[in-house]
Structure 1
């Protein structure tokens, strides 16, 4: 049975949240919404106000979660050997893509170190869940305690070849509350537009 895994990570390639247990047929957006709206159970670390998780197009551009623009080039590989980003939306997508690339590299390290994750034996769902969680815990332990680990060094390169399938908070800061009201969605869309414009102005002034 295929299992769906939702993770968040920090920029130093440590997992900050791991949700396992959903069947692979479950929709990503459903898992995401269930996770952030049932935080007493999931323990999902919502970002402090004025900070954002960078998420892909499968999610909603909403308070605390920043997505790229649809219909524009996005993945870093789309820009390699091609023309530079053109306009605010493309420069925003290019910048956005260069940051969450770290989660793909994080999974690259995880799967390279633990081949069982690529070809999981037909264990029951509960055992598979604990195998995945254990691998993520060991991943973080090695990252924190072993300098010079060859896998982390290899995948630290932002241009490393990755498989196609593949921000801590503090108690002193107010956390955002999930909201998909039309007012909040418009506010986040305007925020993204302003950010894209600033990125483009900085790019064209160099």
Structure 2
């Protein structure tokens, strides 16, 4: 898997050999993982990644690696604990969109730090808990809140909420807990209509279409439609980030037999390793297949007073959105007149 070629390594472990070596170094230096008498860290990590990528059962890994079931289980949990310690180095640090941005998707959203949304990931829970974890799609799932940067790296993730929980409720929890989503005042995330339009969270206009126009001859008819189109184009990054995550790791495609806490930890580990792949590999091997997959188918030195800790509607924030939509529309209309 590791030595033969980058192609084989990517196919089996979802990353090239260089990235794999960096991951092994991180779990040694930060995660505290050590070679044992009979197994080196590289083999432990290869087993771990292979299980995440293909959701293989213990008996299948026993055959592939010629190890006992007890050995595989023990080292899987050892590696999982080590990877979870990498959150501080692998989660993306927020970088606001600069005033001089020329990115067509993001230049209107100055000081925005990314996009935010929730997604459902199937889990296995005890019978007594199934009603709470049953989602609106009738799946037994956890509602996972994620926030990502324009480069599809996750800034924040909160997993574990019941599938029946509303997105707004999960966001409130993320803002209030110790390990919380941090939104410095003056910055904000793009979010969909599952969230309130309030300071720190910029959402589309309600009852106005906001998916990008697919027919080239159709144009937005108002500043609200134009704003919603621009907003949807930028906010799409969080949907793509979740899409890559689920496509990369088969373990997230359906609930596993692990205890619920372990299933939640696996989701977090998948997010952290996803970020490492995005950081280290010039070309993400999964991204070319993402559009087809999606068709089928959230710094300790900051002062708490300078962080947004609630998500309540705000007249000032509504004015901010209206002014932004008007500015977009003015520039767009000026370009159209110039072309005519």
TM-score normalised by the shorter chain: which range applies?
A: 0.7 to 0.9
Query: What is the Cα deviation at residue 200 of structure 1?
Result: 0.4
Residue number in structure 1 paired with 2:187: 51
Query: Which deviations, in whole Å up to 9, do the C-alpha atoms of 1:133-156 show, x marking residues without a partner?
Result: 11101100111112122224554x
Query: What is the Cα deviation at residue 85 of structure 1?
Result: 1.3
Distance of aligned partners of 1:191 and 1:11 in 2 relative to their CA distance in 1, 3 Å threshold: same
Distance of aligned partners of 1:12 and 1:196 in 2 relative to their CA distance in 1, 3 Å threshold: same
Residue number in structure 1 paired with 2:103: none
Structure number with higher relative contact order (C-alpha < 8 Å, ≥ 6 residues apart): 1
Query: What is the Cα deviation at residue 179 of structure 1?
Result: 5.4
- In structure 1, how many angstroms separate the alpha carbons of the residues matched to 2:153 and 2:301? 17
- In structure 2, how many angstroms separate the alpha carbons of the residues matched to 1:74 and 1:8? 20
- In structure 2, how many angstroms separate the alpha carbons of the residues matched to 1:26 and 1:57? 15
Where structure 1 has 5 or more consecutive residues not aligned to the other structure, the ranges are none
TM-score in terms of structure 2 length: 0.52
Residue number in structure 2 paired with 1:139: 274
Query: Which deviations, in whole Å up to 9, do the C-alpha atoms of 1:118-139 show, x marking residues without a partner?
Result: 2222432111101101110110
Q: 2:173 aligns with which of 34, 48, 53?
A: 34
Residue number in structure 2 paired with 1:65: 201
Residues 198 and 311 of structure 2 are in contact (CA less than 8 Å); yes or no, is this contact kept in structure 1?
yes
TM-score in terms of structure 1 length: 0.84
Where structure 2 has 5 or more consecutive residues not aligned to the other structure, the ranges are 1-139, 336-340
Residue number in structure 2 paired with 1:117: 252
Deviation >4 Å, runs of 4+: 164-173
The answer to whether 1:178 aligns with 2:310 is yes
- In structure 1, how many angstroms separate the alpha carbons of the residues matched to 2:292 and 2:309? 36
Residues 146 and 298 of structure 2 are in contact (CA less than 8 Å); yes or no, is this contact kept in structure 1?
no
Residue number in structure 2 paired with 1:198: 327
- In structure 1, how many angstroms separate the alpha carbons of the residues matched to 2:322 and 2:300? 26
CA RMSD of aligned residues (A): 2.6
Residue number in structure 1 paired with 2:27: none
For the residue of structure 2 that corresponds to 1:205, the secondary structure is helix
Q: 2:294 aligns with which of 155, 160, 163?
A: 163
Query: What is the Cα deviation at residue 166 of structure 1?
Result: 7.6
Residues 223 and 328 of structure 2 are in contact (CA less than 8 Å); yes or no, is this contact kept in structure 1?
yes
Residues 247 and 293 of structure 2 are in contact (CA less than 8 Å); yes or no, is this contact kept in structure 1?
no
- In structure 1, how many angstroms separate the alpha carbons of the residues matched to 2:309 and 2:246? 33
Residue number in structure 1 paired with 2:265: 130
For the residue of structure 2 that corresponds to 1:99, the secondary structure is helix
Residue number in structure 2 paired with 1:84: 219
Query: Which deviations, in whole Å up to 9, do the C-alpha atoms of 1:13-32 show, x marking residues without a partner?
Result: 10010000111111111111
Distance of aligned partners of 1:168 and 1:140 in 2 relative to their CA distance in 1, 3 Å threshold: farther
- In structure 1, how many angstroms separate the alpha carbons of the residues matched to 2:269 and 2:241? 15
Residues 53 and 65 of structure 1 are in contact (CA less than 8 Å); yes or no, is this contact kept in structure 2?
yes
Highest CA radius of gyration, 1 or 2?
Answer: 2
For the residue of structure 2 that corresponds to 1:45, the secondary structure is coil
Residues 74 and 93 of structure 1 are in contact (CA less than 8 Å); yes or no, is this contact kept in structure 2?
yes
For the residue of structure 2 that corresponds to 1:192, the secondary structure is helix
Residues 158 and 298 of structure 2 are in contact (CA less than 8 Å); yes or no, is this contact kept in structure 1?
no
